Homo-oligomer: A and B are copies of this chain.
Amino acid sequence: MGILKRRLVKAGLTMDNSQFTMPVSLGNVEISDKFWSPFMERVRTEVIPYQWQALNDKVEGAEPSFCIRNFKVAAMMTHPELDYGFDKAIGFGGMVFQDSDLAKWIEAAAYSLVWRPDPVLEKETDDTIDIICSAQQPDGYLDTYYIIKGLDKRFSNLKDNHELYCLGHFTEAAVAYFEATGKRKMMDAFIRYIDCVDRHIGKEEGKLHGYPGHEILELALVRLYDVTKDEKHLKLARYFIDQRGQSPLYFEEETKRNGNEFYWKDSYVKYQYYQAGKPVRDQHIAEGHAVRAVYLYSGMADIARLTGDDTLIKSCSDLWENITQKQMYITGGIGQSAYGEAFSYDYDLPNDTVYAETCASIGLAFFARRMLSIAPKGSFADVLETALYNGIISGMSLDGKSFFYVNPLEVIPEANEKDRIRRHVKGVRQKWFACACCPPNLARIISSLGSYIYSVKDNALYTHLFIGSTAKAQLSGKEVTVKLETSYPWEEKVRVDFQVPGEGAKFDYAFRLPGWCRSCSVELNGAKADYKKADGYAIISREWKSGDSLSIVFDMPVNFVEANPKVRENSGKLAITRGPVVYCLEEVDNGKELFKIHADLENGKPHNLKTAWEKDLLSGIVTLSFTGKKEKDWPSDALYRPVAPAALEDKLIKCIPYYAWTNRNPGEMTVWMNK
C-alpha cells in the first residue's frame, strides 16, 4: 500500500484497492475472437468514421449535428483571433447535451487506438481536442451550450440542462485518450473544468448544493481519480453521491427558483426520474430513467468500493438484485416503460411496449463490471455476458450502419404502426438519431471490450468472459500471459494457454462457471483438473508454468426457459437460450402470427431439436430448429366461441440469435413463445 492510499484509507476516503477485483486494462488485452473481432472492426471501420462525418455535419440527408461547429463557435467567442471560416453569430445548434456526442466519439476513438493504432484517426482527435480546448473559459468552464448562449445562466438548471453530464462524458473520454496515447492536454483541460465545478458546486456554504441531472460524472470522476490519485476528484464524486436526494430536494428548489414547469410532476416517479427523490442510501428499488439509474449505480458502486461504505454497498446490492431479479428482460434489456425511458415496477416486463434502450443495457454492463470489482461473483458476470451477447449488440445492425434505441422482445409491425403505445418500437434499425446516444455508446463499449474480460484480485487472475484474447497481468510479481482461444458462444470449448517468465509462478487462475451451464469438464495439460468452486467461479491454485494449457468444455445444450409466474406477460410462455445467446423467432423463417406457435415440449424437450452452424447466414450463427405446433385458423370468422380443444398442426420452427434479428426481411419477431 503506497503512501497516498494509506493516507486516504486513514481519512476514511478510500480502501485499499488490492482487496478488490480490478479489471486488466484495455492496453494489456488483445482480442482475437471469431465472434467479437468482426463487431470491433465494424465499429472501427463503420461506426467511428460515420459518427465523425455526423459530428462534422457531413452526412448527406441527415439533420446536422452542429456538435463540432458548436465548439468552433465557442472557441471563436473565447479567442477572437480564431477563424474557422464562418461567423460565430451562427449560434448554438442541436440538443442541450450535444457536446456529449463528441466526447463519446473521442472515447471510442481512444479505445480503438489502443488496439489498432491509426495516425489519421489520432491526428483528427488531436485537432479536435485543440478546438475543444480553445473553447475553454479562463476559469476552466467548458460547455458550449452556455458559452454560446450566455455564461450567466450556467449551473442554473442542473436538473435538465446536462452540463455535468457532458462533463462526465468528457472526463471519461479524456482519461481514455490519456491512457491510449499518453497525451494529457484534454485531461488537463477537463481537470481545470472540474476545478471550476468544484468551486461552484459542493456542500460548503456559498456553493450550489446540486448534483448532475443526468448521472455519469460520478463514475467518471472515480475513473479520473484512478489516474490522478488526486483526492479532490474522489471527494467531488462522493459529494455528488452523498448529496443526491437530500432534503430539501435540490431539483425542487431549482425548479422553484427558475419558475420552470416540472415535467414529471404528474408521474408517480417524480424526482425519482432522476434518482433524486431520496438519498441514494435509501434507494433499494431501481426507479426512473434507466440509463441515468445504472450510470448512478455504477458511480455508487465505485464509491462504495473505494470507501468501503457498507450502507452504500447494501444499496448497490439491493438495486442490483432488484434489477436482475425483478426488472430485467432475459436479453439483459432494462427500462420497461417508454414514458421516461424508465423502470416501471417489479415483474412488469411487457415484451412489445418495452423500451430496453441499448444504452441502458450498456449501463447495466458498467454496473455489472463495478459490482465485479467489489466482489467476483459469477452472477455479476452472467448479467454482463447476457447484456453483451443480446440486448447490447441487438442495438446495431450486422453491417454496423444502423441502430436501435429500443430493443423489443416481440414485434408485430402492424401494431407498431397502428397502436400508438408501440410507436417507439421500430421493426428495423434506424440510420442515426437526433438524440444520438446509442450508436456512440455501442462504439465505446465494443471498442473497450478488452477491459471487461479479465480481472486481478490479490494473486488471482479471473476470466469473466470467454472471448478469444491474449492478456498480460502481474501475478506473483511476474508478468503472466494467458491466451484464450474459443469459438464461444457457438462452441463449448475454451482453451487457455499460459506463459510465465522463468520457472513459473504460484497464483490462482479463476474462470467463471456460467449460470446457464449445468456441467463442464476441465482438463489441465490433458488430465482432469482439480478446481474449487467459489461464487460462480472455478479456481485452480497452483504453480503455473509456461506451456500449461487448460481445456474447458461447457455443456451447452439448448435451454428452454420460463419466467417467474409473477411476470404476467410471460405466463404460459418459454424462451430459448443456448449458452449466453437468447434466441428468437422471426417471420422470415416462421411465417406470420408467431403468437399462434407452440413449442410443444415433451418432458421438457422439443421434438426433433437440431442445432446447425450456418456460416453464411447473418454473418455466421448457430440456428436452432425443432418441430412445434401452430394453431390452425378457426373454420368460422367468429371472434368468440365456446372453449374447444385447439386444432394444432405440426410446424417446423427455426430460431436465430436475438441480436441478429431484423437483418433480413423485417417482420414479426418474438423471444417468448407459447409453451
Q: Which A positions have Cβ atoms within 8 angstroms of B?
A: 267-269, 321, 324-326, 328, 330, 336-340, 344-345, 348, 353, 412, 414-415, 417-421, 559-568, 571-572, 574-575, 593, 595-596, 601, 604, 631-634, 637-644, 646, 674-675
B572 touches A325 (CB 8 A): no
Neighbouring B residues of A269 by C-beta, 8 Å = 418
| Contact with A595, one of B571, B637, B639 (Cβ below 8 angstroms) | B571
With A340-B420, A420-B340, A572-B572 known as contacts, the answer to whether A643 contacts B324 (CB < 8 A) is no
With A338-B420, A420-B267, A675-B643 known as contacts, the answer to whether A564 contacts B638 (CB < 8 A) is yes
| Subset of 15 A-B contacts with CB under 8 Å | A325-B637, A325-B639, A326-B639, A337-B420, A344-B415, A344-B418, A348-B414, A348-B418, A412-B568, A560-B643, A561-B643, A564-B641, A565-B633, A566-B593, A571-B674
Neighbouring B residues of A330 by C-beta, 8 Å = 639-640
| Contact with A642, one of B336, B564, B604 (Cβ below 8 angstroms) | B604
Neighbouring B residues of A595 by C-beta, 8 Å = 568, 571
Neighbouring B residues of A419 by C-beta, 8 Å = 336-337, 339, 344-345, 348
Give the number of times this chain occurs in the complex, counting copies. 2
Minimum Cβ distance to chain B for residue A594 (Å): 9
Residue among A421, A637, A674 facing the most chain B CB atoms (10 A cut-off)? A421
Give the residue name and chain of the B residue nearest to A266 (CB). Answer: B423
With A338-B421, A568-B595 known as contacts, the answer to whether A562 contacts B641 (CB < 8 A) is yes
| Contact with A644, one of B328, B604, B638 (Cβ below 8 angstroms) | B604
Neighbouring B residues of A596 by C-beta, 8 Å = 565-566, 571
Give the residue name and chain of the B residue nearest to A605 (CB). Answer: B643
- Besides A268-B418, A344-B419, A575-B640, 13 more A-B contacts (Cβ < 8 Å) are A336-B419, A337-B421, A340-B420, A345-B414, A348-B419, A560-B643, A562-B642, A563-B639, A564-B638, A564-B641, A565-B596, A571-B572, A571-B596
Neighbouring B residues of A631 by C-beta, 8 Å = 565
Minimum Cβ distance to chain B for residue A317 (Å): 13
With A415-B348, A639-B567 known as contacts, the answer to whether A421 contacts B339 (CB < 8 A) is yes
B572 touches A674 (CB 8 A): yes
Neighbouring B residues of A344 by C-beta, 8 Å = 415, 418-419
A420 touches B339 (CB 8 A): yes
Neighbouring B residues of A564 by C-beta, 8 Å = 634, 638-641
With A337-B419, A353-B421 known as contacts, the answer to whether A562 contacts B348 (CB < 8 A) is no
Give the residue name and chain of the B residue nearest to A269 (CB). Answer: B418
Neighbouring B residues of A324 by C-beta, 8 Å = 639
Interchain CA distance A566-B415 in the complex, whole Å: 13
Neighbouring B residues of A633 by C-beta, 8 Å = 565-566
Neighbouring B residues of A572 by C-beta, 8 Å = 571-572, 674
Neighbouring B residues of A328 by C-beta, 8 Å = 639
Neighbouring B residues of A604 by C-beta, 8 Å = 642-644
| Contact with A417, one of B268, B634, B641 (Cβ below 8 angstroms) | B268
Residue among A562, A575, A632, A644 facing the most chain B CB atoms (10 A cut-off)? A562
Interchain CA distance A418-B631 in the complex, whole Å: 34
Neighbouring B residues of A634 by C-beta, 8 Å = 564-565
Minimum Cβ distance to chain B for residue A320 (Å): 12
Interchain CA distance A567-B561 in the complex, whole Å: 24
Interchain CA distance A114-B594 in the complex, whole Å: 55
A574 touches B643 (CB 8 A): yes
Residue among A330, A566, A634 facing the most chain B CB atoms (10 A cut-off)? A566
Interchain CA distance A325-B566 in the complex, whole Å: 32
Interchain CA distance A218-B340 in the complex, whole Å: 43
B563 touches A640 (CB 8 A): yes
Neighbouring B residues of A562 by C-beta, 8 Å = 640-644
Neighbouring B residues of A565 by C-beta, 8 Å = 596, 631-634, 646
Interchain CA distance A213-B296 in the complex, whole Å: 50
8 tightest A-B contacts by CB?
A339-B420, A565-B631, A421-B421, A568-B595, A560-B643, A572-B572, A345-B418, A562-B643
